[in-house]
Structure 1
Amino acid sequence: MPIDPEKLAKLQKASAKKVGGQRIKAKKVNKSAEADDTQLQNTLKKLNAQTLDGVEEANFFKDDGTVLHFNRVGVQAAAAHNTYTFSGFAQQKNITELIPGILPQLGAENLSLLQKIAESFQQNQGAMDALKASAGGEAADEEIPELVEGETFEDDVE
């Protein structure tokens, strides 16, 4: 009995399976994040990972000037396998938001990034000074009336 190749290709493309004379659809199993976390914890146990205490925060610096900042972080280390895990909620922040607290963490590779930030800050400061000078210095402050006791806003409007 010859097999029709078109019919065979059509049957292979179908997403349904034929079992015992009935067609059933293939079930898709969705893994939850908890299942992934459990599998990770089991793997870390196999590697004899130890929990590191005393780590308050962690920062991962990216090349584009952003930082992955872990405020409350759990750290596990398997030094024999060169494996370290950081668990917690990571926030992506700009490096300028964290600059006072992370100066000790910055290395030589981030020195050029710091120079760029300093230059942009100086340019912004220069632009602000030029804007004030063109506005007449303290002319912006003169527009704001002083508060006089006993006088209300409604009195000024009338």
Structure 2
Amino acid sequence: MEATDAPPVVNAEKLAKLQRMAAGVRTGGKGSVRRKKKAAHKNAPTDDKRLQATLKRIGVNTLPNIEEVNIFREGGDKIIHFSAPNVQAAVGANTFVIGGSSALKDLQDMLPEIADQLSQADLQALAAQLNPGGAMGMGAMGAAAAAAGGAGGDDAEGGDDDDDVPDLVENTNFEAAAAAGGADDGVEEVDATQS
């Protein structure tokens, strides 16, 4: 067998492909160091760690026994509802953290369940928002008040609360009553119309 000194046959396509790959990897010329592979960054765990570190620094405390949280969106027709959330608070920093699974629900779907959580003024504001064309009917107002635990008007017992605003007294001249009742109390009266 004869040994031939002929160079091995190289496929031109493979050689061009290898040269293109090598050109993309080297940052310098021949003999320079190949560049390192850049690792893909994962931001989610680091963001969570940074958030937890910040919350720990401001001193949040877990609030126990919170069964649900309802967040009303700006439009007013949708509610972000958390059932059995993890609620943390730092009152000094005015920071509240609500964690857990949430669901986006319609206000009409949640209204019977959340009606007892709302005040009478909130119910009236919701009624005005739900019915922008006119006032809420008496039947609907009574149903909303009954769902909220009230009677829709005066107390069922007929008693007066101390928090209620007293009725106005008609046909009373308070200026004349003040002048007749306490003329020598040492207080100087000023007429606001002459200034």
TM-score using structure 2 length? 0.45
Q: Aligned pairs, how many? A: 105
- The 2-side partners of 1:84 and 1:116 are apart by 28
- 1:86 equivalenced with 2:98 (yes/no): yes
**CA distance in 2: counterparts of 1:31 and 1:92, whole angstroms:** 26
- Structure-to-structure mapping, 1:67-86, within 5 angstroms: 67-86=79-98
Q: Deviations over 1:43-81 (max 9, x none)?
A: 211111111112110000012210000011011011111
1:23 to 20, 35, 47: 35
Aligned to 2:130: 117
Which of 96, 101, 106 is the equivalent residue of 2:108? 96
Post-superposition CA distance 1:89-122 (Å, at most 9, x none): 11001111100111244465774443343579x9
Q: Note if contact 1:18-1:24 (Cα within 8 Å) is conserved in structure 2.
A: no
> What's the Cα RMSD here?
3.1
| Structure with greater helix percent | 1
Can you give the 5+ residue segments of structure 2 that lack an aligned partner in the other structure? 1-24, 137-195
Query: Is 1:46 the equivalent of 2:62?
Result: no
Runs of 4+ in structure 1 deviating by more than 6 angstroms, as ranges, are none
Of structures 1 and 2, the one with the larger relative CO (CA 8 A, separation 6+) is 1
Distance 1:112 1:17 in 2: 68
Work out whether 1:58 is the aligned partner of 2:69: yes
Alignment-mate amino acid for residue 58 of structure 1: V
1:133-144 equivalences in 2 (<5 Å): none
> 1:110 and 1:102, CA in 2 relative to 1: closer, same or farther beyond 3 A?
same
Rate the CA distance shift 1:41–1:17 in 2: closer, same or farther, 3 A. Answer: farther
> What is the percent sequence identity of the aligned residues?
30
Preserved CA contact (<8 Å) 2:115 2:123? no
AA of the residue aligned to 2:53: N
Distance apart, 1:27 and its partner CA: 2.5
Deviations 1:105-144 (A, max 9, x none): 4465774443343579x9xxxxxxxxxxxxxxxxxxxxxx
